[in-house]
Structure 1
Amino acid sequence: MTILDKIIERKKQEVADSKSKISVEQLKDSEFFGRKTFSLKETLKSKSGIITEFKRQSPSKGIINDKVSPLEVVSQYEKFGASAVSILTDKDFFGGSFEDILSVRNHINIPILRKDFMVDEYQFYEAKSIGADVILLIASCLSPTQVSEFTELAHQLNLEVLLEIHSEEELVHINKSVDFVGINNRNLKDFKVDLQHSVNLKNQLPQDILSIAESGIYNEEDFKFLKEKGFDGFLMGEYFMKDENPGKKFGKFVSNVSI
């Protein structure tokens, strides 16, 4: 069983537990459910193109940074031009929580991507209820039919959809409704990073789809390489989060790559 298999198995248990405690109708009554969402399609063009990330830990790296608060970090991210912020809400494997989004939603005016492992329709109502604007669908743990159905539901809730792929076999998961295709430079099964593999995959995407380079961007050279290859956006977490001041690190990065 891979790490991804373990995460999905635990996630299904977690969702079943949440369903037994809070109904969809209760989620619809939350403070943020009726709010007007921010569009990543718009901010990708008007800001840096970088989706920064708040992530305390990961299965492959262990603790990355558990000393900073979401609000102090994401406020700096926004200040220095982030197009959006990705916030991990998985607790068991990434140390995240819904509170990480709830604590910042009223304080920033850029889209929030709820980064989690979406396996059930219930989670989309959760995402809407905590103030997310974009959700992540991971092709390797969903069927093409599920991707299509989940995308339709997300759009009904005015949430944009980032579909993540890593292999040529997963290209069949792409449909005309997804808003962005993210290509993960890191293989979720063995956690190896290969930027050229991502470029090769990008060249096989439909021409009218917005592409996001995800993970494994460890320095300015990696970023410039992927930008030159035509990616529309870049999801970067660990590179900034491993610094004691992630927001300041991001500001310096943006200045150095002349965005």
Structure 2
Amino acid sequence: MTILDNILQQKEKEIAQLKTQSFDNTSVERNDVAKVAQSFKQTEQMNVIAEIKRSSPSKGDIDLGVDPVKQAKLYEACGAGAISVLTDETFFNGSTYDLTAVREAVDLPILCKDFVIDTIQIDRAKAAGASIILLIVAAMSPSKLKTLYNYAYEQGLEVLCEVHNEQEMKTAIELDAAIIGINNRNLKTFDVDLTTTERLASMVTNPDTVLVSESGIRTRDDVLQLAASGAEGILVGETLMRSENAPALFNDFKVPLVKGEQSNAR
């Protein structure tokens, strides 16, 4: 079994428990939060989705003692385009409390980073203050993906649709996903290859699709490579969490976007 299989088994248990509980459906939201699908298209520089990440199965403990509000305010001050908050407890030491605290502290779009496979998780993410949810193509059938994708948009949420390979990208394209996240990490081996973004981005022909590259992004050269591949956003967790100079790192990451016919991908 892969790590993803283990995580999804745990999620089934959490969902069963969630359905026996009641939680406050009153959303912690801000009406003026930008839509990522629009705002990322309007910029001339790489958009950074900055992640609050205590730990991960592949990297172990990163910063268990992080103050999510302090970290979120730092990201906002540095010019993040959105903030990703890990809410998985078992594997990433996150929580929905982190998400709510961050929502109350900043005005940016917030991604609920979790393994969503049921509508009740979408309801909870919205109630906690998320404006975007993550749907991982590898985690479900195409029909279930479509059901959850449409449900999220009906709730006023955006969706980051994550892919890892050509078949998953084909599924995301058929879904007409507005925001596609290309994960450079192989889910089975945990190896990272930034050329994954270039390879999968080349399949996308819709100029309105926002492409976000995820995993393994450490340097300005990495970001330049991803921009040339057609990415308009990057999702960065560990590198920012470990950085002792986040403003300088953000400055490095704000490379010019490759627009129009110049893009290798589109």
Shift of 1:179: 2.0
- Deviation by residue 1:63-82 (Cα, 9 ceiling, x = unmatched): 01123200111101011110
Shift of 1:169: 1.4
Question: Counterpart of 1:93?
Answer: 91
Structure 1 stretches (4+) deviating beyond 4 angstroms? 33-37
1:58-97 → structure 2 map (5 Å cutoff): 58-97=56-95
Q: Are 1:150 and 2:148 matched, yes or no?
A: yes
TM-score, normalised by the number of residues in structure 2:
0.89
Classify 1:86/1:17 alpha carbon distance in 2 versus 1 (closer, same or farther; 3 Å): same
Question: Counterpart of 1:110?
Answer: 108
Between the aligned partners of 2:30 and 2:228, the Cα distance in structure 1 is 39
Q: Which moved more, 1:187-196 or 1:55-64?
A: 187-196
Unaligned runs of 5+ in 2: 256-266
1:232-251 → structure 2 map (5 Å cutoff): 232-243=232-243, 245=244, 248-249=245-246, 251=247
Unaligned runs of 5+ in 1: none
Between the aligned partners of 1:55 and 1:136, the Cα distance in structure 2 is 15
1:152-231 → structure 2 map (5 Å cutoff): 152-174=150-172, 175-208=174-207, 209-231=209-231
Between the aligned partners of 2:79 and 2:237, the Cα distance in structure 1 is 15
Between the aligned partners of 1:140 and 1:126, the Cα distance in structure 2 is 22
Classify 1:121/1:257 alpha carbon distance in 2 versus 1 (closer, same or farther; 3 Å): closer
Between the aligned partners of 1:222 and 1:124, the Cα distance in structure 2 is 32
1:115-134 → structure 2 map (5 Å cutoff): 115-134=113-132
Q: Are 1:253 and 2:249 matched, yes or no?
A: yes
Classify 1:125/1:204 alpha carbon distance in 2 versus 1 (closer, same or farther; 3 Å): same
- Look up the equivalent residue of 1:2 and give its one-letter code: T
Shift of 1:256: 3.1
Classify 1:165/1:159 alpha carbon distance in 2 versus 1 (closer, same or farther; 3 Å): same
Shift of 1:197: 2.4
Q: CA-atom RMSD, angstroms? A: 1.8
TM-score, normalised by the number of residues in structure 1:
0.91
Classify 1:125/1:36 alpha carbon distance in 2 versus 1 (closer, same or farther; 3 Å): farther
Match of 2:37 among 21, 35, 41: 41
SS in 2 for 1:20: coil
How many equivalent pairs are there? 251
SS in 1 for 2:20: helix
Q: Is the 8 A contact 1:27 1:33 kept in 2?
A: no
Between the aligned partners of 1:27 and 1:189, the Cα distance in structure 2 is 37
Q: Is the 8 A contact 2:211 2:232 kept in 1?
A: yes
- Deviation by residue 1:161-213 (Cα, 9 ceiling, x = unmatched): 11000111112321354220110011122111111122111101232311110
Shift of 1:254: 2.5
- Deviation by residue 1:191-250 (Cα, 9 ceiling, x = unmatched): 11111122111101232311110111122211111112221111111111123x4xx42x
Between the aligned partners of 1:19 and 1:257, the Cα distance in structure 2 is 41
Between the aligned partners of 2:152 and 2:15, the Cα distance in structure 1 is 17
Q: Is the 8 A contact 1:43 1:110 kept in 2?
A: no
Between the aligned partners of 2:8 and 2:205, the Cα distance in structure 1 is 29
Q: Is the 8 A contact 2:116 2:135 kept in 1?
A: yes
Between the aligned partners of 1:164 and 1:91, the Cα distance in structure 2 is 20
SS in 2 for 1:86: strand
Shift of 1:34: 8.7
Classify 1:5/1:224 alpha carbon distance in 2 versus 1 (closer, same or farther; 3 Å): same
Shift of 1:103: 1.1
Classify 1:161/1:213 alpha carbon distance in 2 versus 1 (closer, same or farther; 3 Å): same
Shift of 1:33: 6.5
Shift of 1:31: 4.5
SS in 1 for 2:205: coil
